[in-house]
Amino acid sequence: MLNNRQARTILEEAELIRSAEEVRAAVHGVAQAINAALADQHPLVLSVMGGAVVFTGQLLPLLDFPLDFDYLHVSRYGNEKQGGELHWKVAPRENVRGKVVLVVDDILDEGQTLHAIRQRVMELGAAKFYSAVFADKVKGCDKPIRADFVGMELPNRFVFGYGMDVHGAWRNLPAIYALKGS
The domains found in the chain, sorted by start residue, are: 20-155 (3.40.50.2020)
Q: Sign of torsion, CA 153 111 29 16?
A: negative
Per-residue pLDDT band at 81 (split at 50, 70, 90): low
Residue 141's pLDDT band, with cuts at 50, 70 and 90, is confident
The answer to whether 170 and 161 are in contact (CB under 8 A) is yes
φ, ψ of residue 117 in degrees (nearest 5): -65, -45
Separation of CA 28 from chain center: 15
Could you read off the pLDDT of 149-164 as tens digits, one per residue? Answer: 999 999 999 999 999 9
What's the pTM? 0.92
For position 90, what pLDDT does the model report? 87
